[in-house]
Amino acid sequence: MSISQKDREILRDLAKRQLELAASKRNQQLYQDWMAYGASKTPVGRPLIRIETDSFAQEIIPPMMKCEGDEARRIEWQMLRPIANFTLFEDDTLVPDYFEVLDHYQFTPFNLPVKSQQTGGLGHHFIPYLHDLEEDDHLLGKSPFAVREDWAQQRVQQAVEIFGDILPVKRVSNAAYCTPMQDIVHIMNMDDMYIAMIDDEERFDAMLGRLVDDYIEFFQAQEDSGTLHTGARMQHLCQGSYCFTNELQDDLPGAKNRDRWLFMDSQETAGVSPEMYRDLVFPHYKRVMDRFGLISYGCCEATHPIWDDCLSKLPHLRKVSISPWCNEEFMGERLLNTGVTYLRKPPATILGMNTPVLDEEATLACFRKTAKAAKGCKLEIAQRDVYTVGNNPDKVKRFVQLARIGLEG
């Protein structure tokens, strides 16, 4: 798509603004804080806090935008996201001193494109392909995948041509991402999936195994393409977190999977017993995890039921999700002196109520509870799944302020 001269000038001005903020004293100090955090297995300094804006960015970013064309607005949106956090919320989000162009890959589990139907508001329903594995097994195909280096190079050339003389353009590989149980729920109703796990365990095990085999082949193809870079600084790790670590090299070209972070979760098995997860799901997940350098695990599921028998057995686990459904005290005891980050996800309902006013007492109580439970642990906060802030960015800024007060204990 072409970009008008007017929009080009807007993007060039924004590139200058991004570079200015990246060089600011506060951003440089934040970078050092993250570096220190990633270089130690013990708590260093204060807990670091990030607000993930993906789910409510529509209330924050559009008023900041000036471009008119669709392609220009896509680039502008990308550039404004960290700037919004840095200037409006004053959390610990970094402003990069470069414009990132991500690798582009395609992977379609079982060659079954996800179909969904909106059910009103944010609600949606996945339209299943499978109901009974014995009858529907023939629908499961080989998962096609592609490494789209041409796409990435086009994005690099476009950005360089617009503002490369102002803001460096950099190829970036984020952490690898693999959530096989989510893929299965996208093509099979959860109740049917649970029944299959009980009544047709052999076929379910075979299905999950086939999908994991495809993922392993896909990740190997990424490696073989020579396009990967390692991420050990401000690259995206998933779940609102960064890749900062001193255990991996940063920005190493031609990277191998053993040089990379991997994110996995299994929210969809929150309703099965820890024993079923251990025996049926975890062995397949571990086959993927064993191929990577460092692991971050978990999303909204409670991780405490599977800690002792599963997650604690991963020597390269470095971050674990502590969601609102997780036993904070239990995990605080287990993670103490392990070097595994207590990645706390506060309840979205505190910040995400559709009111302009923040419940300050509830905010302080939430973070004081976390500070007590995670005392002595390596602690990081990632506020996620907030779908509205009442169109009030000051509410988010106050939330961050109160979080820091509460975490002081």
Section 376-380 average pLDDT = 97
Residue 236 pLDDT > 90, yes or no? yes
Instruction: Determine contact, residues 130/139, Cβ cutoff 8 Å.
Output: yes
Of the pLDDT bands very low, low, confident and very high (cuts 50, 70, 90), residue 89 is very high
pLDDT at 356: 81
Q: How many domains does the chain have?
A: 1
pLDDT at 124: 85
- Write out the two tokens for 9: 């000038």
CA distance 68 to 87: 23
pLDDT at 360: 96
- Burial letters for 23-48: b for 16+ Cβ neighbours within 10 Å, e otherwise? eeeebeebbebbbebbeeeebeeebb
Query: pLDDT tens, 19-52?
Result: 999 999 999 999 999 999 999 999 988 999 999 9
CA 134 to chain centre: 35
Of the pLDDT bands very low, low, confident and very high (cuts 50, 70, 90), residue 354 is confident
Query: pLDDT tens, 260-313?
Result: 999 999 999 999 999 999 999 999 999 999 999 999 999 999 999 999 999 999
Instruction: Determine contact, residues 225/147, Cβ cutoff 8 Å.
Output: yes
| % of the chain surpassing 70 pLDDT | 100
CA distance 87 to 396: 11
Query: pLDDT tens, 106-125?
Result: 999 999 999 999 887 778 88
Instruction: Determine contact, residues 358/349, Cβ cutoff 8 Å.
Output: no
Domain coverage including residue 118: 5-407
Long-range CB pairs of 38-46 (<8 Å, 24+ gap) are: 38/232, 38/233, 38/242, 38/243, 38/244, 38/245, 38/246, 39/245, 39/246, 40/378, 41/338, 41/339, 41/378, 42/337, 42/339, 42/378, 43/376, 43/377, 43/378, 43/379, 44/378, 46/404, 46/407, 46/408
Amino acid at residue number 380 = E
Amino acid at residue number 318 = R
pLDDT at 345: 98
Query: pLDDT tens, 171-229?
Result: 999 999 999 999 999 999 999 999 999 999 999 999 999 999 999 999 999 999 999 99
Contacts of 3 (CB under 8 A, 6+ apart): 11, 69, 71, 72, 162
Query: pLDDT tens, 51-85?
Result: 999 999 999 999 999 999 999 999 999 999 999 99
Q: What is the CATH number of the domain that holds 349?
A: 3.20.20.210
Contacts of 146 (CB under 8 A, 6+ apart): 105, 106
